[in-house]
Every structure is written in structure tokens, then in C-alpha cells.
Amino acid sequence: MDESPVTPKIRVRHLNFYYGTKQALMNITLDILPQEITAFIGPSGCGKTTFLRCLNRMNDEIPHTRVEGEILLDDADIYASTMDIVELRRRVGLVFQKPNPFPQSVFNNVVMGPRALGLETGSALEDMAQHLLREVDLWDEIKGDMTLPALSLSLGQQQRLCIARTLAVRPEVILMDEPCSALDPIATLRIEDLMRKLREQYTIVIVTHNMQQAARVSDRTVFFWLGELIEAAKTAQLFTRPAKKMTEDYISGRVG
Ligand SMILES: Nc1ncnc2c1ncn2[C@@H]1O[C@H](COP(=O)(O)OP(=O)(O)O)[C@@H](O)[C@H]1O
Ligand SMILES: [Mg+2]
């Protein structure tokens, strides 16, 4: 058997997902490894976002949806009735496509989660915010002024602020759904640099419609087509020696 020596952070087994009667994911089985960046690629509508949002049960918020199969985080079934969803979403954070900071100060944005969860208080919050803003390379750009309105930042800076906000609750997994699609090329490269830095400490999953981005930043790439997982492989391998004809057609731009 082709057993990986690394213990997967997330194991997905025979996952089906339905919006009403429409099936959006078909029998997905995948391991997601820690300290790696996994990229999901595939044409629009193939189920990348749906799958990403299954990983922290964000789809639960959408009425008339249904999940079958199993997703294990470490060894716990995240769809078990005993799973604490607030805790799950703390452990598995989600960064959205469009930066969505709250119309408040940079500081209030960063500390929102820890405040709500009572993780830190007082000057510990200040120290934490400063540390996180350095982590996402914003501290110098805002010249240490955390009172700045978040909405006065550039879009790229706002997205890095949103990443800091996600990191603030000490997640283990970070999900990013096309985090650069609203950004210019320079801001995009800065987010990619940040992802590579964060990979050391977190399990990262990104959805991208940009194959160059997947090739640049990810360790593993997963190709979806019409709700099916067609191929999952090391990124270099998937882009140079894909195992499936369909993958080859897609990455060479013949279809999709
Ligand atoms: N809230 C929803 N209700 C019904 N169908 C949806 C909803 N969200 C997505 N879908 C459908 O599920 C499929 C997969 O969508 P999505 O996961 O958004 O794909 P991708 O992120 O790859 O573009 C598409 O056919 C889409 O129309
Ligand atoms: Mg999507």
C-alpha cells in the first residue's frame, strides 16, 4: 500500500455533498498533510469552495444541504454530534475571497476572536496584536498605529489583516478561498510569501483558479472536475507528469 509516513491532519473519506437534490461533491477521498500547502484547482463550479467549506462545517449554515461520508480532523469526526462547532472553527479557520475586515480599528479586528473567546485580556491583547501584525508583515506598513481604521488599508493589506485575525485564535488549519482574487499582482505575491512562511506552523489549504499560483505556492495540488476529485499529487508531479488525461487537458488549457 502507498502509505504516507506523515500522519494526515485531515482525512476525508467518501464525502458526498448535496444542495437540495443537487449533488455537488461525489465520493471524495483525500488526505491533507500538516505543514504543507494543498491547492484545490479546477474550473468554476466544480466544487472547490463547497469542499473547502465542508472542512470546517461552514456549509452547515446553508439550508437544505446534506453531507455523507466522513471527515476526520486528527482522529475526531468533525460531523459527529459531539463536535463543538465553535471550537472546530477556531481550529480550522477560513479566509474569504474578498477581504472582509470589520469597519473598526486594525486593533479591534485582530483581537476580535481572542476577545470573544476570552483567550487574552488587557496588555496581553496588545502584545498579541503587535506580534500578529508583524507576522503578516503589516506592523511596519501601519507604522505601529493599530488605531488606524481597517478600511483605510489597501486591499492587500486588508487581506493580510484578515489573515492576522484568523491566526489570532491559534488555529491549526487555515483554509483560504481564492484569497488573492481581488488583489493586484504585487499584493498577491506578498500573500503567497506569507503562506510559505505560515506553512511551517500550520496546515494550509487554498482554493485558486490560478494554476500559476498553485504551481508557485503549493506542495500538493488537487484537481476537481464536476464535483469529482480527478487527481491529487505532489504539485511538481501534477503539473509535469499528470496521471490522468483529464488533468493534462486542464493544465494545458485544452479544456476548462
Ligand atoms: N448555496 C448554493 N446552493 C445551491 N447550489 C450551490 C450553492 N453553492 C454552490 N452551488 C453549486 O455547487 C456547485 C459547486 O459550486 P462551488 O463549490 O462554489 O464551486 P467552485 O468553488 O469550484 O467554483 C456548482 O454547481 C454551484 O452552482
Ligand atoms: Mg469557489
Centre of ligand 1 from the C-alpha of residue 47, in Å:
6
Q: How far apart are CA 123 and CA 163, in angstroms?
A: 21
Mutate to test the pocket of ligand 1, among 17, 19, 210 (most ligand atoms within 8 A of CB): 19
Centre of ligand 1 from the C-alpha of residue 22, in Å:
10
Residue indicated by cell numbers 477560513: 94
The alpha-carbon radius of gyration of the chain (Å, integer) is 18
- Quick check: CB of 96 below 6 Å from ligand 1? no
Task: Quote the pLDDT of residue 254.
Answer: 83
Give the residue ranges of the chain where pLDDT is below 50: none
Q: How far apart are CA 106 and CA 183, in angstroms?
A: 19
Atom of ligand 1 nearest to the CA of 53: 17
In single-letter form, the type of residue at position 140 comes to D
Instruction: Give the distance, in angstroms, between the CA of residue 250 and the centroid of all CA atoms in the same chain.
Output: 23
Cell of 75: 482522529
Task: Quote the pLDDT of residue 1.
Answer: 54
Beta strands in 9-64 (DSSP E): 10-19, 22-32, 37-41
Instruction: Give the distance, in angstroms, between the CA of residue 155 and the centroid of all CA atoms in the same chain.
Output: 18
Q: How far apart are CA 173 and CA 199, in angstroms?
A: 10
Task: Quote the pLDDT of residue 121.
Answer: 83
Which CATH class name applies to 10-101+176-251?
Answer: alpha beta
- Quick check: CB of 46 below 6 Å from ligand 1? yes
Q: How far apart are CA 113 and CA 134, in angstroms?
A: 18
| Residue bearing the CA closest to ligand 1, atom 27 | 45
**Cα three-residue angle 149-155-157, rounded to 5 degrees:** 65
Instruction: Give the other-Cβ count within 10 Å of 154's Cβ.
Output: 14
Which residues are bridge partners to 38 per DSSP?
205, 220
Atom of ligand 1 nearest to the CA of 50: 17
Task: Quote the pLDDT of residue 150.
Answer: 98
| Residue bearing the CA closest to ligand 1, atom 25 | 45
Q: How far apart are CA 165 and CA 125, in angstroms?
A: 12
Residue indicated by cell numbers 504585487: 186
Closest residue by Cα to residue 251 from 197, 208, 201 = 208
Q: Where are the alpha helices (DSSP H) in 144-184?
A: 155-167
Closest residue by Cα to residue 104 from 58, 153, 171 = 153
Task: Quote the pLDDT of residue 25.
Answer: 98
Q: How far apart are CA 181 and CA 95, in angstroms?
A: 12
**Cα three-residue angle 178-218-28, rounded to 5 degrees:** 75
- Quick check: CB of 62 below 6 Å from ligand 1? yes
Task: Quote the pLDDT of residue 76.
Answer: 97
